[in-house]
Structure 1
């Protein structure tokens, strides 16, 4: 059976409003194979998996599942065939228990139709034991972290007797330690002959977990390789169409301190945080989800108050100032969830860029729309934002371009300190490097950056100094040029570092 493909796709085409987003795409997936699907934003990956999961219908082409051609594929048929998709935005009901989510629509019932709750929870626990998961069926989804919710989705897929599991950016909100746990789980799926289509912008993950990789670019298949047949640089070139130079920050001589944080604490969030940030410097903050990293950023941005300690910006204590005073002085936050709290997705590009500068573009109660447009066009050009124009709604931009719009909003205001929480999460390799180059340009101009990231390559390449947090406090301050990813991870998960 290993020689029979679990999924064959031949000459697949799909168009929207007459524009083809997939053209003549072939794909082959074997039983028990982990097959990565990569490409830049807009390459056609999402459309491809939505066709395979039955959410979209193809224009033409053949979809063959275990030797049988499937003509009318919809979500119900796809699930009946064992094709389960785990999207980046998880499909769980937070008010229900873990067991209820796993067995939803398949609850064991008696003759009267009443759910047999003990049997339901026992069945869920059997699956968790099979996958060696530290989950309890009676816990509520709302009480679980992102990594645990990801595991619940995989348990759901296994309960539904999945033959193909499609994972769309499964590690977007996970830490390095949690990613390692996820990879062990994917390997257990492989051992049970489940096939996995793995979609990720993080190419180090592709080389760690995949057996094969297929590249899409502009809706066309560029090629597919066994993972040992292609290098990292060659894969990037296949995705982008040209060589990409990776960005690294240069060592810098210390300039004036722009931010001094002295022993700040907030009950239940973090304690005894100290740091000094100079102009032209990037401090990276590493740690597990829940270590207090984001809470520190919110405090440094003035969004959350501190109970004790001092925040000194450009020589002035500001910890007791209101949030708007932080912005006036030149401190901004680039939040992790750009769509929920960073941008207004239904507003156009120009409107989002001008949000922080409304006084500048207003005359009395009226907006000077021509000036707003001119400012927006200026930053669209400076940051190389790919858009149909500044009147295009932000929700139609790629993740990388939405991130650049959020940066443009604060650049137009003239900020000096940028607090960036996961600045390249969910963006493709080309956009990631563009954002890194923007960050490097900022510090070369004398700006300062505090960067929170779960991406260890980003941490090592884009930080001058690394602060590691664990259990809501700082456990290590490391010189990036003198440390390793392994040392950072050891501190982050609370293990002692071996020496010798």
Structure 2
């Protein structure tokens, strides 16, 4: 029985159509995938369902009855919950795990809070799903995967009938992903309807019953998962064949740019590596292996305990990102909204912020020069934006990532570090990012590419370093590496 229907949904922003008469339905006890390239309209459609936006046209029916969803509170009252990809936007960092899980109940509570009961309730729901997180722990000290699990627990507490999962596995380890799929199966058996948004197509074919594909604000197709395949899905999403998922340009390898010897600090216990001109070096490992921590250490964001770093023969140990940037080392971080961009600032200002000295005179920014340069970068990178003056936070995830990369292009950077650069990015934008990285290599830049996605590292890297428990434990040449051999060392083999 169909439980939820969205009929003829249309929405425009400043006269530009974002959705054009979109139909979508969700049945009780099914997982329905919603797919599309960045800018296809998925987020806008879901924001209408969750009450963040109002549709210009169309209707929403729940159990055959017209439903008015004019606010997030109204959506929650109808049992509609969302587990967001950007977890930090949905959690309160200075509150505990328990307080975040039971946030709505606390808001409605009059008088004093029964803390003992609060903690017991939180522990009960976490144990129900097999999550092991201290309920008194502050959310600001939780890992990305823990924050994701907290959001799932919150949705369960609020007795959701319909749950939207937006890129839920992006911050999770393989084990946590498997556990999430078990939880989704439990939700199905309980009669919940699940809308599943992910750019990891293998997941879609593993757990989803139906697939709806959107493109350019329209619904292209809805099919049972068993009646389609990955090639067909990708072609429908892009409107064309996607024959080369990992474009790799072979360029000459030059002199050594970066040398790291016995790097140690925080979670990084020992790292030796080097990167040469034109070379893309992949650093792979499972979640928690220390990849992000190594990137932060080389960027001066975390404190060194021991070791040596040399850039173009010059020895330094960066004590801040400023020192790293001055030495020619830049980082595109994993958490782009939190650390890579200023979400409330314009696209133009984000693209100029790393090189403001070039566009300033006597302490004043030369706006015309800043805007002209931003326009050039937007054209070069293919950033989709209605206006370079609009807040970058309004762009899709893939376009935000292009801006996070673009801000470094006007610096004198010699080494570019990318930490999970395609997380939450659709297949079209991924291809753009791979090509951009290839073009940087062709300009004799050195590339350090940190990722837990083994196939993409195998596709674009010249050499591959494997991390396990804070150490680089194995090096592979491009031709000798396989997913199986990488997993062996990433799991502690050898």
> What TM-score do the two structures reach when normalised by structure 2?
0.89
Distance in structure 1 (CA, Å) of the matches to 2:189 and 2:400? 39
SS class of match (1:41):
coil
Distance in structure 1 (CA, Å) of the matches to 2:482 and 2:370? 45
2:49 to 45, 52, 55: 52
SS class of match (2:407):
helix
2:24 to 7, 22, 27: 27
State the shift of 1:224 in Å.
0.9
What's the CA shift string for 1:121-165, capped at 9, x where partnerless?
A: 444333333323334544443443222222222222222222211
CA gap 1:204/1:114 in 2 versus in 1, 3 angstroms: same
Question: Does the Cα contact within 8 Å between 2:251 and 2:441 map onto a contact in 1?
Answer: no
State the shift of 1:26 in Å.
1.3
Question: Does the Cα contact within 8 Å between 1:22 and 1:44 map onto a contact in 2?
Answer: yes
Runs of at least 5 residues in structure 1 that lack an aligned partner in the other structure: none
CA gap 1:358/1:75 in 2 versus in 1, 3 angstroms: closer
Distance in structure 1 (CA, Å) of the matches to 2:76 and 2:168? 19
Matches within 5 A, 1:295-334: 295-319=293-317, 324-334=322-332
CA gap 1:79/1:224 in 2 versus in 1, 3 angstroms: same
Match of 2:260 in 1: 261
SS class of match (1:264):
strand
Greater mean deviation of Cα atoms: 37-46 or 100-109: 100-109
Match of 1:5 in 2: 2
1:234 and 2:236 are equivalent in the alignment: no
Question: Does the Cα contact within 8 Å between 2:148 and 2:171 map onto a contact in 1?
Answer: no
State the shift of 1:263 in Å.
0.8
Match of 1:155 in 2: 153
CA gap 1:177/1:280 in 2 versus in 1, 3 angstroms: farther
Count the aligned residue pairs.
491
Matches within 5 A, 1:127-146: 127-146=125-144
What's the CA shift string for 1:212-263, capped at 9, x where partnerless?
A: 1111112211111111222222212211222233224356775322211111
1:38 and 2:35 are equivalent in the alignment: yes
CA gap 1:6/1:326 in 2 versus in 1, 3 angstroms: same
State the shift of 1:291 in Å.
3.0
Distance in structure 1 (CA, Å) of the matches to 2:273 and 2:80? 49
Matches within 5 A, 1:376-455: 376-455=374-453
Distance in structure 2 (CA, Å) of the matches to 1:326 and 1:71? 52
Greater mean deviation of Cα atoms: 230-239 or 345-354: 345-354
SS class of match (2:199):
coil
> What TM-score do the two structures reach when normalised by structure 1?
0.88
CA gap 1:68/1:432 in 2 versus in 1, 3 angstroms: same
Larger Rg: 1
Distance in structure 2 (CA, Å) of the matches to 1:128 and 1:184? 14
Over the residues paired in the alignment, what is the CA RMSD in angstroms?
3.0
Runs of at least 5 residues in structure 2 that lack an aligned partner in the other structure: none
Question: Does the Cα contact within 8 Å between 1:177 and 1:493 map onto a contact in 2?
Answer: no
1:93 and 2:63 are equivalent in the alignment: no
Distance in structure 2 (CA, Å) of the matches to 1:149 and 1:441? 36
